[in-house]
Amino acid sequence: MKNSGLFLLLMVTASLNAGVYLSQSEEYTQEDASRYCREHGWRPMQIQEIFELPNSTPFSPGFSYWSTTNIMTGEAIIGTGSEGDGGVLEHIGLAYYPKERNVTPSPENKKIAAICTDAPPPKQIRNYTFDKLGTKDGQNSILWHSLDATDKKAKYTYESAVQMCENLSFGGRNWRLPTLDEMYSTVDYSFSRPTIDMKYFGPVMQRYYWTSDTLNDGEVYVVGFKLGSVATVSKKEKAYVRCVSE
């Protein structure tokens, strides 16, 4: 095995000191990246863990990094920016592109960088309860409006999506677009097509939903529920909307 140089980020929490280790080369398939981590006594990271790393993480400019997360539906469609333009694959891995904070479904044999940690696996905590107006998200202290509060099949440009939420008259509350972190936190890879728990969120549309976070003046972050991806699209594109209230 080739011993590539490593960056080390020391992350301090109340309970442990955990290292995050990044390869300095993009030479690993998803399987190779996992093996690389294990052979060094570390473990590969789940995509949600990588997504939540702070901006101070010393990612190499332009690199993408393999997670250990897979989608195996038998008919998964690989995306090239619009969740479904790149052909059909049986198994898909999820990669992270930190420069634009994208979560990208990718062929497992694609060669990119490895990221590892010596921290124990995280316990995923989801705190959802029903409300007459929708679903309470205890983790983020927000309320997601029920699907029947609006036309779930309607698509909006970014500006019209912002206005739709702000003008939403539902339950006497103020509504807004969710942030990227809020929207992505609802993605659950134990489900597929859509990658969300429909018990609490209903039969959501599988393509992109707007968030309130922008990459630049012309592009906005969206979350896709067919494969659980994060991407950016032009504000002039049309996507689906799910509003939240504090």
Tracing tokens 């109340």 back to the chain, one arrives at: 14
Query: What is the domain extent for residue 229?
Result: 128-245
Interval 48-77: pLDDT, tens: 999 999 989 999 999 999 999 998 654 544
Into how many domains does the chain fold?
Answer: 2
Residue 228's nearest CA partner among 134, 117, 113, 95 is 95
Residue numbers of the chain with a pLDDT score lower than 70: 1-18, 72-90
Looking at 95, 117, 139, which one is the last position of a domain? 117
In b/e form, how buried is each residue of 185-207, taking b as 16+ CB within 10 angstroms?
Answer: bbbbbeebebbbbeebbbebbbb
Interval 173-206: pLDDT, tens: 999 999 999 999 999 999 988 999 999 999 999 8
Looking at 117, 151, 176, which one is the last position of a domain? 117
Based on the domain organization, do 180 and 239 belong to the same domain? Answer: yes
At 230, the amino acid letter reads V
Strands 244-245 and 128-131: unpaired
- pTM value? 0.87
Q: How many CB atoms lie within 10 A of CB 154?
A: 13
Q: Is residue 1 part of a domain?
A: no
Based on the domain organization, do 42 and 63 belong to the same domain? Answer: yes
The Cα–Cα gap between 16 and 79 comes to 37
